[in-house]
Amino acid sequence: MNNMYDKVVESRNYIQSKNNSMPKIAVILGSGLGDLVDAIEDKQYIDYKDIPNFPTSTVQGHEGRLVFGKIKGIDVLAMQGRFHYFEGYTMKEVAYPIFVMKQLGIEKLIITNACGGINTSFNPGTLMIINDFINLVSDNPLIGINDERFGTRFPDMSEPFKIELIDKAKKVANEIGIEYKEGVYAGFMGPYYETAAEIRSIRNQGADAVGMSTVPETIAANYLGMEVLGIACITNMATGIQKQKHSHKNVVDIAQKASVDFCKWIAKIIENIG
């Protein structure tokens, strides 16, 4: 079977044969942000490796499974572990789960990540609402022949992160006393952390934060007609912004520290948009 639509339907059929909840909200959990799964009740797990046509995750800190259940009484689907372009997947593979989510009936997608801060008003641990993105990778999941069953050939990208969802996230944060910033996320290919010269260049392009994920999934979700909310955890200041060396361990450690506020916030957002 080489038709992507048929593959996606096959993946969906397998998932539906294992789980009969009908979530309309999904969350992609970034590095070190997997604790949200603890807030999910009546959990049911489906390992990526068991889903026909699904890619499998290779990065440390990424579990590689779908988690179905309820947060504050609302059906949700969480992706614990995502796929990155730098792992060698094609952009279509990176975005594949989003195509499956659409078939499962997901309407709103919360995309989270750990990333480097470029805006000097940020600190490690800052939570940032993503209000726009810059795709620094000369590739995206929509390249190739378009299948109109998924979406239009030339999708609009003027509101990649839904303003209504951003406003709700802000309102909820203010209600429960979560501090947040807002900014533009630049998607860098990786897997190396950027050079200082690259960060200067990205900063000049208008980015507030930089990471190695999120952009392909956001493009695919918009193409598929889903509403996206993006929440980034600044785990370190980007190269040259602060004098320090980067490590994945540090990224995961800082994300885990921020994850108490992060989980509280996401759970409350879900309650408000569900």
Q: Which is nearer to ligand HPA, 33 or 169 (CB)?
A: 33
Residue type, 10: E
Residue 188 as a binder of ligand HPA (CB under 6 A): the answer is yes
| Contact flag: residue 218 with ligand HPA (CB under 6 A) | no
185 binds ligand HPA, rule: CB under 6 A:
no
Q: Is 184 a residue that touches ligand HPA (CB under 6 A)?
A: no
Determine which helix (DSSP H) or strand (DSSP E) holds 26, and give its type and residue range. strand 25-29
Q: Is the Cα dihedral 194, 163, 224, 145 positive or negative? A: negative
The nearest distance, CB 237 to ligand HPA, in angstroms, is 8
163: tokens are 């303003």
Type of residue at 128: M
Count of residues near ligand HPA by CB under 6 A: 14
Residue 173's CB: how many other CB atoms inside 10 A? 20
- The Cα–Cα gap between 195 and 76 comes to 38
Rounded to 10°, the helix 248-273/163-176 angle is 100
Which one among 48, 85, 96, 193 touches ligand HPA, defined by CB under 6 A? 193
Q: Does 235 bind ligand HPA (CB under 6 A)?
A: yes
Site string for ligand HPA, 108-147 (x = CB under 6 A): ------xxx-------------------------------
Closest CA to 196 of 240, 245, 237, 236: 240
Which parts of the chain fold into alpha helices (H)? 4-18, 91-104, 163-176, 196-204, 215-223, 248-273
Does position 238 interact with ligand HPA (CB under 6 A)? The reply is yes
Among 94, 127, 212, 232, binds ligand HPA (CB under 6 A): 212
Provide the annotated binding site for phosphate. 31, 62, 82-84, 114, 213
- Positions in the binding site for ligand HPA (CB under 6 A): 114-116, 188, 193-194, 210-212, 235-236, 238, 246, 251
Provide the annotated binding site. 31, 62, 82-84, 114, 194, 213, 236
